[in-house]
Structure formats: structure tokens, C-alpha cells
Structure 1
Amino acid sequence: MNELSIKIIKKPSYSSMLLRSIVNIIFGIILLFFPGLTLWVLSIALSVNLLIVGLFMVFEPAIDKTNKHAFLTALFGVLSIFLGIYLLTRPLAGVAVLTIIFAAWALMFGIIDLILGFKLTELKQSQSWLFYIAGALSIVFAIFILFNPIQGSLTIVWAIGLYSLVVGIITGYNAIIGSKTKSKKVPKKSKKKGKK
């Protein structure tokens, strides 16, 4: 077994995987129990964030005189402000934007999980099938919400919540099993070195 390949696979550290798992589980629980409120809060948060970022970008050239792209910075700032105002007055549009962002996020992690699954299969690791499930689930779900950004928004929120919960549990299981496997292998190496 190629030890360098194992290190590369495990380098997105199990602690970061566990953190991703916890965030997914918490996010899933919030969405499942507070779908309507979550939609409204997230839409408002996105709009306010765009407004704040836009204001900073508009005034940034006046503060930083060395900015060589002052015009573009200010232009993007103005666009960000207008988009923030638009989304504040059109909450459904904000919901659509949020679901598309989440779809892109789910698609990205789905592809990453599938790649990890293939690599773990090559290394004959038993938990590879869990990465296949998580990856396939992420990609299918991403495609679903990309084609349904507004229709049945509450259903989408519930589905996102369930998805986050399931993927969070799978990722957490992978992190715990992987870290235990790694810790078991460390003493064996030290014993071999001692014998030499």
C-alpha cells in the first residue's frame, strides 16, 4: 500500500471532516425545524451582506489611494448595493439565489467525495462506499435544486435540511472511523523502528 497516497487522502484532516459534519448536522436540524423562518432570515442576511460589502467597496478607493483598480472596485460596490436592495424588496429572488449557491456547494462536495471514494477503492479501504453514497447524494440533490430554485421553496428547505443531516452523519462517521484507523497504525511504525 502506497503510504504517500494514504497521506494525501487523509490530509483534508479528519478534524476538518468532523467540523464539516457538525456544521452540516446543526444546519440540517435548523432547516428541518424552522424552514419558513430560515428562508426569511437567510434571504435578509444575504441582502444585508451585499449592501455592507457594496458600501465598503464604494468607499474603499477613497481610503486606499494606492488602489489601481479604484473604478472597478467602486463599480462592483454599486452593483452589490443595487443587488442587495433588489433582494430586500424581492425575498423570493433572495431564496432563489441562496438555493443556487447551496446547489453549487453541494455539487462541489459531491464531486470531491466521489474522487475520494475512487481513491479509497484503489487503496482497498472499506469505508469507500460511504463516500460514493455521500457524493452521489450531493450531486443528485444539487441538480434537483438547480432546476427548482423557487417552486416549493419550503420543500426544498426541508430537503436541504435532510440532506445536510444525512451527509453530516456520514461524514462524521468517516472522520471517526478514519481517525481510529490512523491512530492504530502509528504505534506499529514506532515498534518497527525500535527493532531496527
Structure 2
Amino acid sequence: MIGQLSRHWWVLLARGVFAVLFGVLALFWPGITVWALTVLFGAYALVDGVFALVGAFAGVEGESRGWLAVAGVCGILLGLMTFAWPAATALVLLLLIASWAVIVGVLEIVAAVRLRRLVDDAWLLAVAGVVSVLFGLVLFIWPASGAIAVAWLIGLFAIVMGAALIGAAFRLRKLGGHPRTHRVGGQLS
């Protein structure tokens, strides 16, 4: 198996190089990253809507055809609206993330208050909740900065992942170029 993987080490190298390039672009051109994510969401909604509509007309077993048709039409409309107004879609997605962060943060704070007598380190949950609420509020106040921060996180992840893939590619290349030999009873096997 190592032999087969080591022969194709260059595939990992190519993936790693492209991931690093994408990461650098995301860090230095975050607007394109947000735009690309929005377009991918729009494409997903559109394709999902088409398949739901096809399923409704094909009469998928166990599904309500009427509701499936409504879901299909909504998905198609959402996909088309995303392509028509990508900036508005990106803003709405960001506001949903902000809402989620605030709600989760408040729930974590409430849980920490309730658990403070049962758990010694419940204050850590409260701190996590406060950080989550603050993150959500920052996204509400400065949504453009939040979008850039998300793009930067994606960029950093892509660079780290790409570097790991590049390292693995060179390790596989090295393993393939120098097959291991084992001595059994003083003789090479």
C-alpha cells in the first residue's frame, strides 16, 4: 500500500500547493473568499431545490409531494436570489452566524450559572459564553469585519492543511524512493 501511495505522492503535493495558494488568496483578498462561499451556497440551494422539485413530481416514497414541491421552489428561488444579490446573501448569512453566537453564548452563561454549585470549573463555561456573545455582537456591529475574519480563518486553515499535505507528500516520496529492507537471520529479505 505504501508503494502505491508513494508512486502518487505528487497528488498530495498538488493538493497541498493549491490549498496554500487558496489560503494566501483568502488572507490577502478576503472579499473574493466571502463571494466564493456565497456563490457556493447559492449553487447548493439551487441544485437542492431542483432535486426536491424533481422528487416531488416523481412521487418520492414517504415524502409529502406538496411540501417537497414547496421546498424545491423555495430552494430554487433562494439560489437565484443569491446569484442576483450576493452581497445581501453574504450579509444575511453573517447575521445568522452572529445570532447563533449570541444565542449559544447566552445559553452557555445560563448553564454555567445553574452548574456553579455542581461543577468547580463552571466559570469556564461562562467565559466561553461571554466570548461567544461578544463575538456575535461584534458581527452585528461590524459585519464587514466579521466576514473578513471568517475569510482569514478559512485562509489560515487552508495554509496549515496545505502545509501538512505538502509534508506528507514529501514523506511519501521519500518512503517510495528508499524501500525498507529487513534483516532476517543476518540476511536481507
TM-score by length of 1: 0.54
Structure 2 unaligned spans of 5+ = 1-22, 155-189
Deviations 1:51-88 (A, max 9, x none): 01111111112333545631232122112111211111
- Computed over aligned residues only, the root mean square deviation of the Cα atoms, in angstroms, reads 3.2
Residue 157 (structure 1) aligned with residue 151 (structure 2): no
Would the alpha carbon gap of residues 119 and 161 (structure 1) be closer, same or farther in structure 2, given more than 3 Å must change?
farther
Q: Bigger radius of gyration, 1 or 2?
A: 2
2:33 counterpart (34, 38, 41): 38
Highest RCO, 1 vs 2 (Cα 8 Å, sep ≥ 6): 2
TM-score by length of 2: 0.56
Structure 1 unaligned spans of 5+ = 1-28, 165-196
* Count of matched residue positions in the alignment of Structure 1 and Structure 2: 131
Which residue identity lines up with residue 71 of structure 1 in the other structure? G
Would the alpha carbon gap of residues 160 and 119 (structure 1) be closer, same or farther in structure 2, given more than 3 Å must change?
farther
* Preserved contact between residue 108 and residue 126 of structure 2 (Cα < 8 Å): yes
1:59 counterpart (49, 54, 61): 54
| Identical positions, percent | 25
Residue 100 (structure 1) aligned with residue 90 (structure 2): no
Which residue identity lines up with residue 52 of structure 1 in the other structure? V
Residue 129 (structure 1) aligned with residue 117 (structure 2): no
**2:159 aligned partner:** none
**1:139 aligned partner:** 133
Which residue identity lines up with residue 88 of structure 1 in the other structure? F
Aligned residue for 1:54, secondary structure, equals helix
1:50 offset after TM fit, Å?
0.7
Would the alpha carbon gap of residues 163 and 116 (structure 1) be closer, same or farther in structure 2, given more than 3 Å must change?
farther
Runs of 4 or more off by more than 6 Å in structure 1? 161-164
1:159 offset after TM fit, Å?
4.7
